[in-house]
Structure 1
Amino acid sequence: MKLTGKQKRFLRANANRLRPIFSVGKNGLNEVWLREVSQAVDNRELVKISIQQSADVDTDDVKNFIESNSDINVVQTIGNTVLLFDESSNPKHRDISTGVFSL
């Protein structure tokens, strides 16, 4: 799914108050980590990930890994933080996506 500029602005505004709930460290990226992130995105729809200084990867590596191995959209990368979005499979958790798709 391709997001428009308005939709990305809406998501960035909603993510302003969020804290990162996942981090990428020296263990790097793997399928188990991505599965956990996918579950969190499915429950919350909007998730921030931080990249630790000790990590062997940068934001571009994380972005490419997530986009190539899942349906999650990378909305924004700033510094060592990556913002992710995907519509929840549970209709009860679709608070943010309702606003996104109404734009």
Structure 2
Amino acid sequence: MGLSGKQMRYLRALAHPLQPILQIGKSGVTEQVVDQIGLALEARELIKISVLKNSAVTIEEAAQLIQSMTKAEIVQTIGRTLIVYRRSQDHRTIVLPRA
């Protein structure tokens, strides 16, 4: 899909007040976690995920796995938090600015 810089800034601004809704722990990015991310993205389009310190994967590895397994865009990584976006098929609530 590929987001432009303007769209990334817009999504970062929307994500600022959000709290992480999922945590990746010592099991890493499992299939169950990916399923939950997919469901959350379909319902909300934009989510935050926190990677715990005891996680088996680094934040960069988690971002790559989530991006490839969910076909989502990683908007930003801040510390141990990921901001993830994927356009919903049914609930399109976020209207992105033109590129």
Unaligned 5+ residue runs, structure 2?
Answer: none
Deviation at 1:101, TM superposition (A): 4.7
TM-score, scaled to structure 1? 0.90
Distance 2:50 2:5 in 1: 23
Q: Does 1:6 align with 2:14?
A: no
Map 1:34-73; keep pairs closer than 5 Å.
34-73=34-73
Q: Is the 8 A contact 2:7 2:98 kept in 1?
A: no
Find the aligned partners of 1:41 and 1:70 in 2 and give their Cα distance. Answer: 9
TM-score (normalizing by structure 2)? 0.94
| Structure 1 unmatched runs, 5+ | none
For residues 32 and 62 of structure 2, the distance between their equivalents in structure 1, rounded to whole angstroms, comes to 14
Structure with the larger RCO, 1 or 2 (CA within 8 Å, 6+ apart): 2
| Identity among equivalent pairs (%) | 37
Out of 90, 93, 96, the residue aligned to residue 95 of structure 1 is 93
Q: RMSD value over aligned CA atoms?
A: 1.1
Matched residues in 1 for 2:55 and 2:8: separation? 27
For residue 82 of structure 1, give the secondary structure of its aligned residue in structure 2. Answer: strand
1:70 Cα shift? 2.2
Matches within 5 A, 1:23-42: 23-42=23-42
